[in-house]
Amino acid sequence: MTTEKAPMPLFYKKPEPLDANKHKTLALKKEFGLFFTKDVNAVPITMIEMPQICHHYPIAFSPDKNATPVAILGLRDNENLFLDDNGQWEPMTYIPSYIRRYPFIFSENPQNDQLVLCVDADTNIVEENGEQRFFTDDGTATALSKNALEFCKSYHAAAHQTTDMGKFLSDAGLLVERTAEIMAPNGKKINFSGFRIIDEAKLAELDDKTFLELRKKGFLPFIYAHLFSGAQWQKLTALLAKRMK
């Protein structure tokens, strides 16, 4: 009998639980930058950041049962239009928390619901005896590790809320598959597909009981943020035109 390994989360290659003995001299490389996002055109986002995200990126929902909200970063495969060749993010643009959390992440122990702080032990990200160590000489967590722990706690809580919202929207039948047809500067059409959005007509026709439940759960502001984000498809088209020049 073989058991399939769960797929690695986006960006992570070798996440390891931070251990004071094993990682006593391990450090985070300085200015490892954002190049790890170069080849992705969508990234998961949390519900609570959607009001900020909607001013910068189109928001869509994944086609799977979780209906995870994502920020669309590019219109072609393996291309992030918000990152330039120097590893700089588009100026004055909010960077999603999933990206800012990297290289840290929680691993969950299903047996006792314990959360363990992990770091991606990729050699592009970490180094031995660097300046930004995870532990002091006596094995105490440094400010870097403590701040990462608090950030991951906040992210984990927000992600759980987001899962609840995605499931509710999916179960209520509000999500529909869409294809965005973009005209590239060279005259070619780009069909961007594999995502879902909230159908405004279905939302308007929602029965009172379900709509009141949406309001009671506090999901309405985030639904509207998603709907407003549709204006950002034009921004992606403009960034693509700039890239193709």
126-137: average pLDDT: 94
The rounded distance, in Å, linking the Cα atoms of 80 and 69 is: 17
Phi, psi (degrees; rounded to nearest 5) at 157: -65, -45
Q: With a cut of 90, say whether residue 119 has pLDDT above it.
A: yes
- Of 179, 231, 230, the closest CA to residue 63 belongs to 179
Overall average pLDDT of the 186-202 stretch: 88
Give the pLDDT score at 150: 96
Catalogue the E-assigned strands of the chain: 15-17, 26-28, 42-44, 59-61, 69-72, 104-109, 114-120, 126-128, 132-133, 175-183, 189-198
Q: Which two tokens stand for residue 57?
A: 């990126």
Instruction: Convert the pLDDT of each residue in 47-77 to its tens digit.
Output: 999 999 999 999 999 999 899 999 999 999 9
- pLDDT higher than threshold 50 for residue 1: no
Helix segments in the chain, DSSP class H: 50-53, 97-101, 143-171, 200-204, 208-216, 220-228, 233-244
Separation of alpha carbons 100 and 122, rounded Å: 17
Rounded Cα distance between 30 and 53, Å, is 27
Query: How many beta carbons lie within 10 A of that of residue 177, not counting itself?
Result: 12
Q: What is the pLDDT of residue 187?
A: 77
Q: What is each CA distance from 223 to 26, 170, 210, 214, in whole angstroms?
A: 42, 13, 14, 9
The band of 171, judged by pLDDT with boundaries at 50, 70 and 90, is very high
Confidence of residue 183 (pLDDT cuts 50, 70, 90): confident
Report the chain's mean pLDDT, rounded to a whole number.
92
Region 33-42: what's the mean pLDDT? 95
Q: What is the pLDDT of residues 85-99, one digit of tens each?
A: 999 999 999 999 999
Q: Quote the CA–CA distance of 205 and 74 in Å, as a whole number.
A: 32
Return the pLDDT at 220: 96
Range 158-180 average pLDDT: 94
pLDDT at 244: 86
Supply the pLDDT for residue 112.
62
- Alpha-carbon distance of 195 to 177, in angstroms, equals 6
Token duo for residue 58:
């189109």
